[in-house]
Chains A and B, each alone.
Chain A
Amino acid sequence: MTAATNFTNDLLSRRSFLRVSATAAGGLIVSLYLDLPLAAQEGGQAKPKAYPPDAFVHIKPDGKIVIQVNRLEFGQGVHTSLPMILADEMDADWAQVLAELAPAADVYKDPVFGIQMVGGSGSIAHSFQQYRELGAKTRAMLVAAAAEQWKVTTNQCRTEASVVHGPGGRSAKYADLADEAAHMPVPETVPLKNAADFRLVGKKIRRLDSRPKCNGSLKFGLDLDLPGMKVVLVAHPPTFGASPRSVDDKAARSIPGVADIFEIPTVSKGTAVAVVADKFWTAKQARDRLRIDWDLSRVERADNSQLREKYKELAGTPGNVAVARGDEKALAGIAASNRIVAEYEFPYLAHSPMEPLNTTVRYDGDRAEVWAGSQFQTVDQMAIAEILGLKPDQITFHTEMAGGGFGRRATPDSHVQREAAAIAKRFTGTPVKLVWTREDDVQGGYYRPMHVHRVEIGMGADGMPSAWRHVIVGQSIVAGTPFASFIIKNGVDATAVEGTADTHYDIPNFHVSAHHPTVNVPVLWWRSVGHTHNAFVMETLIDELATRAKMDPIAYRRKLLKPDAKKLHGTLDLMEEQSAAWRTKLPAGHAVGFSCHESFGTGVACAVDVSIENKRPKIHRVTVAVALGLAVNPLTIESQFQAGVAFGVSQLMAKGAITLKDGYVEQSNFDAYTPPYIIDAPAAVDVHIVPSTEKPSGCGEPPVPVISPAVVNALSRLTGKRYRTLPLVTV
């Protein structure tokens, strides 16, 4: 039974189709088709394709309502908040709602980005309207079914907790109406709730995935166990793109359980050695016993000290223009005593999600099945198809729950999946689980790029910056990827300058340019991407300027911010108010630091209470104010900010850098590349949301940029020093 309609999403203005069907086993399935204007479809007729498994809502006969989540869940909470949005409009009984991670399919693509993905803090921002409409239409059909049964008008019915109530005390459960509802026409348009009528949205709702994550029953991708499965570890070249001159695998092959050892190509045009075994520990033992003579003669051997020199030199010259506002010569007219020249250095950073990277592939000749915790399902699906010589729709791609990601599972080149597919292709019919060990991950590239910033600022008589020249040097993340065409403009990778080029500070003569050197180190977006370094530079410099101007740092920011930067003004006010009580009575040896930054459409301001203990910053308390439109799940937002600022402390860790020497990555595990432990993280974080009913923006990345500049600004108050080089090796 299928009925179709189309509706216009205010975000999309693309043709969308809703299909409703009764299932063989009973119940109602609601599916949404989006026909996205992708290159493949342009010019063609926009017809709905056949998507069998693409239900968004499934009302089961037992009353359970299964809602598909069109994105990876890896901590950010969409597995709870997207179903909340749909269930709210549907008036579903929340206690009966289950969430499932949707497999790869066109229908689950991000309505704005056009690929199935998590990134850009866009899950709620992009799917809020989509999930509301799905919920509202499903509800409308259930109501229509009840109204028909009772011979009443739909206006006489109301819904609550998966029940339609009609006149005369009649009521019917959604589950009992599901079959009938499937025969109802899909409404063209449906009214959506007023914010005041939300039952779930705006409430603090606990996660749906907590219990199984607390009792060990939840299966992550790495936990997958299939009959006959092999486990594969790969010996990657120690320098990106290198290949072995010779491989002695005798000792490795002698280990019982080793199935095969062979060379595979790497995405970086080198060659790696795959070890296929019955189990992880077997594969590990065997890989440790490989004797590989790597030929590094044909690859660039990146080296931090050389890169640093080169970057610093580049930073002294203008790059490709990102922003040119006002008079470029204004700076020259300002006396040296009123100028600041600041040079900043940022290292490569590894994401190191707790669950090591992995992908399982079973190749069956004419089709394949894949299990992966992927932020880029459809991208990875296409890559695997390419390696296996199949079409994407011949690949069943299961989205597995992932143990963190922070961007690391969103690789435009799908390098892990390509590796897994290449190996699986040799084992037709056998599931092959590729695991990257922690060492593989730390040494395996795809880092937040290393950067140097050089900033020259001239101050006016009022102490405010009147001229600002800013050069940013760092590899482009998207160069050479399909994203390049719409992210690189005028030779500037927007992800490298975000947070500076689009600053909300009103600086009359403002010039930002960028150099993107090519380096043999794969780079990638790292939670909050360019904001990681740009916010640090901007917010430490603004603080320095405020100090020089002898102005209150909050007042200074407020004065410098454009009046229309409403979110930032709102957060500054709220942060100032909420932190006043503790800020005004700090113990001796403590100092407060501030920062504010807008990223991904979300404004954030924070105040931190910092002292120095054991020669390290001790972060006693953080007060965060956030403006992100309508707060869909304030509990998720609170959690994301509490934890996200701790993630942001990664940048300050003494061992918080990936460094290369002569082509080799010098760190290999958490002993040398150390994420924050509990003692490094803020001891308390209070989060305050600026009330709003405007369109929601994201909360996954915006917590990250603000914390490190705020902490360093506090340190500067304590020590009188300026901190322009990360990580923070000494205080």
Chain B
Amino acid sequence: METYKLTVNGQPKEVAVDPGTPLLWVLREELKMTGTKYGCGIAACGACTVHVAGIATRSCVVPVSLVGDRPVVTIEGIGQDPVGRAVQDAWVSEDVVQCGYCQSGQIMGAVALLKSTPKPTDTNIEESMGGNICRCGTYVRIRQAIKSASQQLKSGGAS
């Protein structure tokens, strides 16, 4: 057991866990933030995606010991960010979700994409979202929602 100080969604948190515990399980079981999902445990589906120092990160494979002092943002906190909020709104208005289980990760990926690429092409979307599985298959609407969020942000709708 080791004690780790984390910053999650701007809040300081302290957990005492085995150093090898993946960030995913620290979030879900220690901090009770279950919006970040367990899908595969091997970074093959993206359901566990959070932002670590702004980088979309597969929390299921990152031991808490390697997080360091980098701030963590989860689906519960991404709405505080204008891009995050725009993406969530676009997801709702485009009626993207079906079962919804993968969508936390999809949204976190889309936010990372839009923050660096405000006007993504289809190729940008395919590459950036390329590692997130939606088993329901909502990909067409994911594309639409990313484009609509991009449009919304461009027009200052989510400033």
Within the complex, what minimum Cβ distance (angstroms) separates B62 from chain A? 13
A353 to B102, CA, bound (A): 10
Give A280 to B41 CA distance when docked, in angstroms.
Answer: 12
The residue in B28, B74, B99 that gathers the most chain A C-beta atoms within 10 A of its C-beta is B99
Contact B138 A642 (CB under 8 A): yes
Find out whether the CB atom of B37 lies under 8 angstroms from the CB atom of A671: no
Give bound CA distance, A210 to B89, whole Å. 10
Interface residues of B in 35-69 (CB under 8 A from A): 35-42, 44-45, 47
Specify which chain B residues have a CB less than 8 angstroms from the CB of A213 in the assembled complex. 97, 100, 103
Q: How far is the CB of A252 from chain B (nearest CB, A)?
A: 14
* Contacts of A219-233 to chain B: CB distance below 8 A: 219-220, 222-223, 225
Query: Do B92 and A206 touch (CB < 8 A)?
Result: yes
Closest chain-A Cβ to B133's Cβ sits at a distance in Å of 5
Interface of A is mostly: loop
Known A-B contacts A354-B39, A356-B39, A670-B44; A214 and B22 likewise in contact (beta carbons under 8 Å): no
CB < 8 Å neighbour of A77 from B34, B88, B98, B137: B98
Nearest chain A CB to B32 CB, angstrom units: 6
Q: Are A216 and B104 in contact (CB under 8 A)?
A: yes
The yes or no answer to A215 lying at the interface (CB within 8 A) is yes
- A685 within 8 Å of B by Cβ? yes
**Contact assessment for B101 and A403 in the assembled complex, using a CB-CB cutoff below 8 Å:** yes
Q: Judge whether B95 is part of the interface by a CB distance below 8 angstroms.
A: yes
Cβ of A681 within 8 Å of any chain B Cβ, yes or no, is: yes
Q: Which residues of A contact B28 (CB under 8 A)?
A: 223, 280
Say yes or no for A582: interface residue by CB 8 A criterion: no
The answer to whether A214 and B97 have CB atoms under 8 Å apart is yes
Is the CB of B153 closer than 8 A to any CB of chain A? Answer: no
A678 touches B139 (CB 8 A): yes
A281-B21, A404-B135 as given contacts; A356 in contact with B38, CB under 8 Å: yes
Among B79, B95, B122, B139, point to the contact of A215 (Cβ < 8 A). Answer: B79
Query: Would B76 and A216 count as touching, CB distance under 8 A?
Result: yes
Known: A281-B21, A404-B135. A76 touches B98 (CB 8 A): yes
Closest beta carbon of chain B to A670's beta carbon, Å: 4
The answer to whether B135 touches A644 (Cβ under 8 A) is no
With an 8 A cutoff between CB atoms, is B150 at the interface? no
Is the Cβ of B41 less than 8 Å from the Cβ of A437?
A: yes
Task: Mark out the residues of chain B between 14 and 38 whose CB falls within 8 Å of any chain A CB in the assembled complex.
Answer: 17-18, 20-22, 25, 28-29, 32-38
CA distance in complex: A640, B136 (Å): 9
A643, closest chain B residue (CB): B137
Q: Which of B34, B103, B125 is the one whose CB lies under 8 Å from A214?
A: B103
B157 near A: Cβ within 8 Å? Answer: no
The one of B17, B39, B139 in contact with A438, judged by C-beta atoms closer than 8 angstroms, is B39
Q: Indicate if A601 sits at the interface (CB-CB under 8 A).
A: no
In the complex, which residues of chain B have a beta carbon less than 8 angstroms from the beta carbon of A643? 98, 134, 136-141
Whether the pair A225, B34 counts as a contact (CB closer than 8 A) is: yes
Shortest Cβ distance from B71 into chain A, in angstroms?
17
Q: Does A682 contact B (CB under 8 A)?
A: yes
**Using an 8 Å CB-CB cutoff, how does the interface string of A626-643 with B read, 1 for contact, 0 for none?**
000000000100011011
Do the beta carbons of B99 and A678 come within 8 Å of each other? no
Residue of B25, B36, B37, B95 most packed against chain A (CB within 10 A)? B95
A678 touches B132 (CB 8 A): yes
Interface residue A424 (Cβ < 8 Å from any Cβ of B): no
Inter-chain contact B100/A218, CB cutoff 8 Å: yes
Q: Is B126 an interface residue (CB 8 A)?
A: yes
Contact present for A216 and B130 (CB under 8 Å): no
Q: Across the two chains, which residue of chain B brings its CB closest to A442?
A: B40
- B83 proximity list for chain A (CB < 8 A): none
A320-366 residues with Cβ-Cβ distance < 8 A to B are: 352-356
Q: CB-defined interface of B75-101 with A at 8 Å, one 1/0 digit per residue?
A: 110010000000010011101111111
Q: Which residue of B lies closest to A77 (CB)?
A: B98
Report if A75 contacts B (CB, 8 A): yes
Scan residues 375-419 of chain A and give those whose CB is less than 8 A from a CB of chain B.
Answer: 401-406
Most buried by B among A225, A639, A679, A684: A639
Known: A279-B25, A678-B126, A678-B139. A404 touches B99 (CB 8 A): yes
The residue from A210, A218, A406, A679 contacting B92, defined by CB atoms under 8 A apart = A210
Whole-angstrom distance between the alpha carbons of A405 and B42 in the complex? Answer: 21
Residues in chain B near residue A75, CB distance under 8 A = 97-100, 136
A398 to B107, CA, bound (A): 29
User: What is the minimal beta-carbon distance from A159 to any residue of chain B, in angstroms?
Assistant: 28
A74 to chain B, nearest CB (A): 5
Query: Which chain B residues border A635 with CB–CB below 8 Å?
Result: 95
A143 at the interface (CB under 8 A from B): no
Residues of A within 8 A of B33 (CB): 216
Q: Is B142 an interface residue (CB 8 A)?
A: yes
Does B114 touch A at the CB level, under 8 Å? no
Set A647, A671, A679: member contacting B137, Cβ < 8 A: A647
CB–CB B143/A209 < 8 A: no
Among A207, A220, A402, A644, the residue within 8 A (CB) of B95 is: A207
B93 — nearest CB in chain A belongs to which residue? A206
A210 & B97 in contact (Cβ 8 Å cutoff)? yes
Report A-chain residues with C-beta under 8 Å of the C-beta of B102. Answer: 354, 403
A656-700 vs B, CB cutoff 8 Å, 1 = contact: the mask equals 000000000000011100111111011111000000000000000
Jot down 29 A-B pairs with beta carbons below 8 A, ordered by A: A74-B99, A75-B98, A207-B97, A210-B91, A210-B92, A214-B91, A216-B33, A216-B36, A220-B37, A281-B18, A281-B22, A281-B29, A354-B101, A354-B135, A355-B101, A403-B101, A404-B101, A646-B137, A646-B138, A669-B44, A674-B44, A676-B133, A678-B139, A679-B130, A681-B137, A681-B140, A683-B140, A683-B143, A685-B140
Which B residues are within 8 Å of any A CB, using their own CB? Answer: 1, 17-18, 20-22, 25, 28-29, 32-42, 44-45, 47, 74-76, 79, 88, 91-93, 95-104, 107, 122, 125-126, 129-143
Excluding A75-B100, A438-B39, 17 further A-B contacts by CB distance (< 8 Å) are: A214-B96, A214-B103, A214-B107, A215-B35, A215-B75, A215-B88, A219-B34, A353-B135, A404-B136, A643-B141, A645-B137, A670-B133, A676-B133, A678-B130, A678-B139, A682-B140, A685-B140
**Chain A to chain B: the 10 pairs with minimum beta-carbon distance, closest first:** A216-B35, A403-B101, A646-B137, A213-B100, A75-B99, A75-B98, A216-B75, A643-B137, A223-B34, A670-B44
